[in-house]
Amino acid sequence: MIIVPEREIAGLVSADACFAAVEQVFASMAKKSARNFPVVREAIGHADALYGFKSGFDRESLALGLKSGGFWPRNTERGLTNHQSTVFLFDADTGRCRAMVGGNLLTALRTAAASAVSIKHLARADSRVLGIVGAGHQSTFQLRAALDQRPFEKVVGWNLHPEKLGRLAAVAAEKGVPFEAVDLDRLGAEADVIITITSSFAPILRAAQVRPGTHLACMGTDTSGKQEVETALVARATVFTDEIAQAVTIGEAQHAVAKGLIGAGDIVEIGAVINGDHPGRAATREITLFDGTGVGLQDLAVASAAVDLALAGGVAVEVDF
């Protein structure tokens, strides 16, 4: 069995490698050659932790396995990350455990890759201003990956606590793009592409604040009850997602679906656009919205890439198991 420790991931797996892995698996999902299995997520009644599994199988890449982990809210007091993830990969021919891969950084990279894939396939080619709502842990990964998708000339950012926006300004500066902290009216009025990456349970961005032609990547809502944008905005947009079953239950679309404003049949899997089976954006003034819910197959795809890179780079730990 191969072990790729968490400490090796940063040196091994680039944002580009994650982008390629996530784009491939979204395409596989839309072709029905890859399938996510039902998610298990439980409050364990200890340490206030939420623990669970996301799993699946991609018949094209033969990635089979699961991501195990969850949220331990008091980890920060111990100097640890609150979100903890480990990916286990299995040999699709024999069922033997093939690899164990640290999944914390990979989770951030695969989430950022998902919104970047949506920008590549759905944002207007002339997009020049990137808006980002949220300045938490995930936000810098989101920003870095998005900036590679279009020749953005400016980043505008908003966060509930504006003092946290410095981390976004630093990434923009590193990429040579000016950054400005703005209110939500200006963010919507200026941005061609907007990423939302918060843990909000109430709409932040209103439909009236978003211009025709905008592409939104709503990445924060991954649980029942969370919400980042007004349902009227979801209803006005052409909605794309990683997986429809998750979008209507735990994604940003859940609220518009519950109100009857849209149905599952109105939502398109982004893999269909990648495969050329759906045209994607049809008009310059169309609002496109990617509901990125986060699927287990993304984790397996990037963990498989990490194993390949670790083997090639000679840093994989091999154990007899």
CB of 170 to ligand NAD, least distance (A): 15
Instruction: List the one residue from 31, 35, 137, 206 that touches ligand NAD (CB under 6 A).
Output: 137
Specify the length of the chain in residues. 321
Tell me the closest approach of the beta carbon of residue 222 to ligand NAD, in angstroms. Answer: 4
By beta-carbon proximity to ligand NAD, the closer residue of 24 and 138 is 138
Tell the smallest beta-carbon distance from residue 7 to ligand NAD (Å).
Answer: 20
- Number of residues in contact with ligand NAD, rule: CB under 6 A? 23
**Strands (DSSP E) found in 166-282:** 179-181, 193-196, 201-205, 215-218, 227-229, 238-241, 268-269
Q: Given the complex with ligand NAD, which of 167 and 175 has the nearer CB atom?
A: 167
Nearest to 99 by CA among 290, 304, 254: 304
Give 20 or 184: the residue with its C-beta nearer to ligand NAD: 184
65 vs 134 by CB, closer to ligand NAD = 134
CA distance 82 to 285: 40
Which of residues 134, 271, 280, 296 is near ligand NAD by CB under 6 A? 134
Distance of CA 199 to the CA centre of its chain: 13
Q: Which of 112, 205, 219, 302 binds ligand NAD (CB under 6 A)?
A: 219
Asked whether 122 and 280 are in contact (CB, 8 A), the reply is yes
C-alpha separations of 117 from 31, 33, 254, 259 in Å? 17, 19, 22, 29
Report DSSP state, residue 198. -
Binding of residue 220 to ligand NAD (CB under 6 A): yes
Using a 10 angstrom Cβ sphere, with 0-12 exposed, 13-18 middle and 19 or more buried, the burial of residue 92 is middle
Is residue 180 classed as helix, strand or coil in its secondary structure? strand
Q: How many CA atoms lie within 13 A of 285 on its CB side?
A: 0
Stretch that binds ligand NAD, among 27-35, 128-136, 230-238, 256-264 (CB under 6 A): 128-136
d(CA 49, CA 24): 33
Nearer to ligand NAD, 208 or 317 (CB): 208
Q: In angstroms, what is the minimal distance from the CB of 134 to ligand NAD?
A: 4
* Collapsed DSSP state (helix, strand, coil) of residue 87: strand
Q: Which is nearer to ligand NAD, 219 or 316 (CB)?
A: 219
Cα separation, 159 vs 181, in Å, equals 9
Residue 67 falls in the annotated catalytic set: yes
Site for ligand NAD in 141-200 (CB under 6 A): 159-161, 197-200
Interface positions, 72-111, toward ligand NAD (CB under 6 A): 107, 111
Q: Which entry of 32, 67, 164, 259 is annotated as an active-site residue?
A: 67
CA distance 288 to 310: 37
Considering only 119-127, 215-223, 257-265, 269-277, which stretch makes contact with ligand NAD by CB under 6 A? 215-223
Q: Which residue is nearest to ligand NAD (CB)?
A: 136
Residues lying near ligand NAD in the complex (CB under 6 A): 107, 111, 134-139, 159-161, 197-200, 204, 219-220, 222, 226, 292-294
Catalytic residues: 67
